[in-house]
Amino acid sequence: MITELRRYRLRPEKIDSWLAFFEEAAAENARHGIRVEYAGLNRETGEFVWLRSFADEPDRVQRKAAFYGGQWWLERETYAMDHVLEYGVEFLEAAIVRQGGDVIAQRRVASDEAVAGSTVDSPPDGFVRSTAARWVRGAGSDPTG
């Protein structure tokens, strides 16, 4: 399973209309088989965080293409993105997942699976990639040195 961790900084004056819009958006995601796992708001900072899940990377690509290429989104994209000042997406591969009751199932990602987020998403109209950089240690590098 792949989860997108999405963080939006909203325009302060548009928080309430965003929340109303997002209820509808979550239902539309569900109609496309995309599970919205959580959504939360820090009203003080205007940060809206939500999680949505997919079976794997090919599933993520296919379902997102159907959602963002569909009439519902195309009619609402400008309205939705007018609420957002900036946003970021992180891709998480499930390691431990709750499956009913108190049972926890561990899942290890197979090395031959497509890596979460390996298919690059383009920003919506009016948004550009940030100049922020995140550095990670390369495979095989010596962590001591």
* pTM for this predicted structure: 0.75
Give 58-108 pLDDT, tens digit per residue.
Answer: 999 999 999 999 999 999 999 999 999 998 899 888 777 776 666 556 565
CATH code, domain with 98:
3.30.70.100
Write out the E strands in 1-145: 2-10, 35-42, 47-54, 84-93, 96-98, 104-106
pLDDT digits (tens, 9 = 90+) for 13-37: 999 999 999 999 999 999 999 999 9
Helices (H), 3-70: 15-31, 57-69
- 77 within domain boundaries: yes
Question: Residue 116 falls within a domain, yes or no?
Answer: no
Residue 14 lies in domain = 2-106
Query: Total domain count for the chain?
Result: 1
Single out the residue of 34, 102, 43, 83 nearest to residue 62, CA to CA: 34
Q: Read off φ and ψ for residue 103, nearest 5 degrees.
A: -80, 130
Please indicate, yes or no, if residue 27 is contained in any of the structural domains: yes
Angle between helices 71-81 and 15-31 (to 10 degrees): 160
User: Residue 139's CB: how many other CB atoms inside 10 A?
Assistant: 5
